[in-house]
Structure 1
Amino acid sequence: MAVNSQHDEHRNFDARDAYNAQAKFGVSRAQSASQTALRQAVPGLLVEFDESNGLVRSLTNPVGALSGPSSGDPLAIGLDFVQKHRDAFGLSLNDLANLEVTDRVFSKLSGITNLYLRQTFKGVPVYNAQLQINVGRDGSVLSVHSDFLPSLESAIAGTTPRLGAAEAVAGVAKHLGVRLATAPQSLKAAEGARQLTRVAVEGLSSEPIDAELAVLPVRVGEARLVWRFQVHTLDSDHAYDLTVDAQTGKVWTRFDWVAADSYRVYPMPVESPIHTTPLPPADGRVLVNNPANATASPYGWHDTNGVAGAEYTIPRGNNVHAYVDASNTGQPPATQPNCGATLNCDFPINLTAAPSTYVPAAVTNLFYWNNIIHDVHYQYGFDERSGNFQVNNYGRGGVGNDDVRAEAQDGGGRNNANFLTPPDGQRPRMQMYIWNTVTPNRDGDLDAGIIVHEYGHGISNRLVGGPSNVSCLSNRQQPGEGISDFLSLFYTARATDTGPQGRGVGTYALNQPTTGVGIRPQRYSTSPSVNTWTYASINGQAVPHGVGAVFAQGMWEAYWALVDAHGFDANLYNATGNAGNQRMMLYFTQGLKNTPCSPTFTQVRDGIITAATALHGGVDVCRLWQAFAAFGLGTNAVSGGSGSTAPTNGFAVPTACVSLAPSSAAPADVTL
């Protein structure tokens, strides 16, 4: 989250957008013939084609699967399907011969296995070139997404760099406007095609810089050999993932991994001090007892070793370590709030005084909400195998030692918040700031809408593209900010809410009434008199926040289509419940797993629909299509590609859904 949209517009950089701006590729005859053949078995087949780079990126069935049930290993099933239909993507057998599995994520709830495979060339990984295959519980192939570059061997000259890793780092320093006192120095490179090299440099990164060779796909017929590495800026505001041309020194891409978005607390779903009674300056918090969920946090919130008994009496445990960072050191202070042997985290608060006077209360609220999101979203499938945030994964898969560092009242900024998401196994960081829009200042740590928004970046970055690849939400038509806003709305929704009523995010921090617009230009609402957006409204919107807000509106309309049909249940832990809000979050979370790297809105839509075909008997497939279509995300919507902010609305629904009323059951040809 960030208020300064002009700054956010330039947070991510991809030189390929300008390079390919005038490029117009068409589908080849072989691709068209293969797609036509597949359409015989899947009449409603949807094909996502990016004409700016010539890639067919997705094959999906709007109301079911791409293939029938099968038995065997999901990886073998998926690869067999892709090989049989490789011409639809323009791929050859040689393109599929050199790949590596980066992640394999199985969801117990949906039975879907999400497979993430990376293209390689002579042992060198191809940057963000993922083949994602989503396989159902019954062995049916639900959808396939590909960013593999066809005929890669003819698109790149070789794997011998002209420039060394140190020269690439020096070029990045210049690119970032950092003047170095001494030139970077390459230490000894590791053996192997990737030439992993640590670069010694002062004054550029707070973390070591480890560069390795990669291949950057530019467009069909073109790729570049690049150095790839990360720079963690000294102010802790950015963690840039960069690619630098190994022949020319050109910076091709710069993606920021920082997404600039008993306990006495404001408990879920209370959004802030102004969303409950008594109102400030009275203390509206309540004392919550034993809130840890036994499935997600089996040893409580203060455990890390998987043995009964708390290791910490401060706000620290398996899922999060919350502490004040007023001096912006990135480290916990010497003295932290202590809840005592009974873990009674009950600290006073005075909302008429400066936030610095109630640090323990703020840290406790931040600790509580981080754990709540961890525990609730665990139920919907954000678990260890999916890359969630835990020190100890209790033998359930995934990589541990990556609890959230939640920094309250951080001194690194004002009127903002952010979340750093590195790959699975590396610790993320949430920075919450003071908001000086009023005196006394307001503390973002007391605004659950903002806390959920920031944690949401961690969820989306680990789920979209798989837990090992967190650079998948950096394209211009990416929904990351909208995913986070939607999660904020979900976690703070109440049984008395209605679709038409307007909802803002961050109203407390901005010193607005609960009816304020919050941090976005319009409130979220199903009423066209309150929110006027459709899919095409992203045209002219700031990237990523304006674009993301439009996405959140589309999800909010789909959410209400389900809540109006199935009702609302305040028990968010019941992920298999029948209420509309529970169903939507189940489809949404699995949908993100089904979504490819650098997605368009239509690809996220398809991921959600694919999830809906596999859950609750597929009864909500047409209901979701009708909601998406009303928003402009129908089957005939045209995304324009992942780098486009000029999509075309489409209001059509699949043929199988045309004659069905919104309350009807699933179409007969849904494959489950």
Structure 2
Amino acid sequence: MAFSKMFTTLLTTILLSAVLNLVEAAPWPQTVKLGTHRERIIGRGLKVTAYHPSSNFKAFGAEGEAIPTTAANGSSLGFADDAVAWRSGFTDGTTANAYLRQQHDGVPFANAVCNMAIQDGKVVSWGNSLIDVESASIAPSTPSLKWAEVLPSVENQLDAQKNEQDPTLEYFNADGAFYEAYVDAHTGDLVSVTDFVAHAQYTVLPITKVDFREGLEVVTDPQDLEASPLGWHTLQQGGAEQTTTSGNNVVAFRGQSLVAQSAAGLVFNSRYNDNQQPNTQANIQAAVTNAFFVINSLHDVTYRYGFTEEAFNFQVNNLGNGGQARDRVEISVQDASGTNNANFATPPDGQPGQCRMFIWTLTNPNRDGTMENDIIIHEFTHGVTNRLTGGGTGRCLQTTEAGGLGEGWGDAMADWFAQTSADTRDFAVGGYVTNNANGIRSAPYSTNAQTNPLTFASLRNLREVHQIGEVWANILHNVYAGLVEEKGFSADKLTNPDGPEGNIVYMRLFIASLAVQPCNPTFVQARDAWIQADQNLFNGANRCTLFKAFASRGLGLRASSRALQDNADIPADC
């Protein structure tokens, strides 16, 4: 495609200007490891500490760097001509986003990514976690083992079974040593894990309501045909409309059977009763209906704001609009694999997103997490952020710090849906299932530092991704409030992404910044991506408002991901 060919002229420029990452000698300071490592306990008590090379990120603001008219020979820089190759890309308005991959001897590096944003023939931002292949010993590109030989051991360690996806051969930069795959193709060792850990009538919780306590409503034909031209119950143009909780964007079901719930016609009117246990027949049906409704609503709203087929969203049929198809969200209600939690697995574009919602046992009767919209929204947002960061791979929020950002985005998205006026209210996640005003976080998100004292410097004492996420979500709550105070509030936020109001501008920047930022971003890089996204979308009109809001919570102009100290500086012209 012409879009990808254009970027071949950029490769030499990017490689020349890139500061390629050399792994620092151990021991790593704990705060530094937040941005490069992630420790997980998986399977049968297996502890895996995965390493991801730190990302560099540069935003050029309004100036940009001109695209060269001719491409130099890449080998003159010490790189083979095929050292970097096109992976994916899409356009968002006037901004073109491109994602490249590094390779050696025809084998790609799993955790070496380069991304660029282009406007008006100029590179306006780029990030990379490219690897200095000249300074390291690289294993042979032909494996010593066949994948089938190590599969039984890996399945045993992960307490899991291989799915229908065929294994791929890739190099993996593992804290200074290079391996050819997440399972080393020479030794059979497991070296890393990518945790890939949304006239019909519905009786549901409207998407702007937080939880069951705000009341069920009957809604009719809520689908947004601009985002879902097939509607919510059809898989192809001219196809039959299914009278089940199954369609192009999502299939909702109870447990692990993947059997959608049927209804008479398209009327899904079971009413949830939280004076009874979640597993009554009526409550099961009501919960499945709400899951179907909320994921479809999220698909349509995020589609309007830029999470489209070519930007790696979740759909069975992409209607010729780019991206990989056959990957709608599969949401399991009252899943038996856990309690008091929920999760969302985001494999690469082209494989279904998998959301599992659990029953919460902290009250009597128990409560169903599916009847709390903010939990579903949080989980779906993992799909959005994992797909948009890094170009659809699902691999680029894997460090502790980046994983924390992912948790924060989930809460921040739920916060955005819950705000219904220009008066920005404090927001808590999980208040219904816990029957606690603070919900499942340490404090509500607030513009009041006494209500929520978290700042950028709080990261110095935090190691767990949800705790780290609270810092980012609280910062974004203040960014949202600043934009709404400056530019007002629109009640049409769900269907009009082109309005000038602050809440609309916020969501435009939320989505656009994900495509701009590098793989495994830090807090500082994520902030810079918001600033650059504002330049790309609005010619920098909100730059000072954004910087003031970030600085109010310690993420000022001179904040450092190494020092993790609060900084309140803003640009001199602000």
Same fold, judged at TM 0.5 (above): yes
Sequence identity percentage: 35
Q: Does the CA-based 8 Å contact 2:136-2:177 persist in structure 1?
A: no
Residue 67 of structure 1 aligns with an amino acid whose one-letter code is E
Asked if the contact 1:98/1:121 (under 8 Å) is kept, the reply is yes
Matched, 1:293 2:224: yes
- Select 1:490's aligned residue among 416, 424, 441: 416
- Provide the residue aligned with 2:426 in structure 1: 502
2:168 is matched with which residue?
A: 212
1:321-470 correspondence to structure 2 within 5 Å: 321-325=251-255, 329-332=256-259, 336-338=261-263, 340-341=264-265, 343-357=266-280, 358-467=283-392, 469-470=393-394
Residue 637 in structure 1 maps to residue 559 in structure 2 = yes
Partner amino acid, structure 1, of 2:170: A
What's the TM-score once normalised by structure 2's chain length? Answer: 0.85
C-alpha distance in 1 between matches for 2:477 and 2:81: 39
Note the residue ranges of structure 1 that are not aligned, 5 or more in a row. 1-15, 26-51, 71-75, 179-203, 228-242, 277-283, 641-645, 661-672
2-structure distance, mates of 1:103, 1:285? 42
- 2:320 partner SS: coil
Matching of residues 200-349 of structure 1 within 5 Å: 204-205=160-161, 207-208=163-164, 210-218=166-174, 222-227=176-181, 243-258=182-197, 262-274=201-213, 276=214, 284-307=215-238, 310-325=240-255, 329-332=256-259, 336-338=261-263, 340-341=264-265, 343-349=266-272
Distance 1:586 1:365 in 2: 26
Letter in 2 for 1:304: L
Deviations 1:223-253 (A, max 9, x none): 41323xxxxxxxxxxxxxxx13334444322
Q: Secondary structure in 1 aligned to 2:296?
A: helix
Residue of structure 2 equivalent to 1:132: 115
Structure 2 gap segments, 5+ residues each: 1-22, 33-50
Structure 2 counterpart of 1:598, which letter? N
String of CA shifts for 1:294-338, please: whole Å, max 9, x gaps. 21011211111122x65211111111111111xxx34327xx231
Separation (CA, whole Å) in 1 of partners of 2:25 and 2:167: 25
Q: 1:281: which partner in 2? A: none
Quote the offset at 1:206 in angstroms: 5.0
- Alignment match of 2:567 (pick from 623, 626, 650): 650
Write the distance in 1 (CA, Å) between the matches of 2:296 and 2:246: 10
Larger radius of gyration: 1
Match of 2:28 in 1: 21
* Equivalent residue runs for 1:586-597 within 5 Å: 586-597=508-519
Partner of 1:558 in structure 2?
Answer: 479
- In the TM superposition, what are the counterparts of 1:162-173 in structure 2 within 5 Å? 162-173=144-155
Distance 2:517 2:347 in 1: 19
Partner secondary structure for residue 377 of structure 2: helix
AA aligned opposite 1:172: V
CA pair 537-264 structure 1, distance change in 2 beyond 3 A: same
**Aligned-residue RMSD, C-alpha:** 2.8
CA distance in 2 between counterparts of 1:552 and 1:95 reads: 42
Match of 2:88 among 73, 93, 103: 103
CA–CA distance in structure 2, aligned partners of residues 532 and 23 of structure 1: 23
Which residue is equivalent to 2:400?
476
Please state how far the C-alpha of 1:165 moved relative to its aligned partner.
2.5
Task: Compute the TM-score of the two structures, normalised by the length of structure 1.
Answer: 0.74
- SS of match in other structure, 1:271: coil
- How far apart are the structure 1 equivalents of 2:366 and 2:453? 33
Q: Secondary structure at the match of 1:477?
A: helix
Q: How many residues align?
A: 527
The CA deviation string for residues 49-70 of structure 1, in whole angstroms up to 9 with x for no partner, is: xxx9996712223x434325x6
Equivalents in 1 of 2:316, 2:54: separation in Å?
A: 39
**Superposition deviation, residue 617 in structure 1:** 3.4
Matched residue, 1:239: none
SS in 1 for 2:77: coil
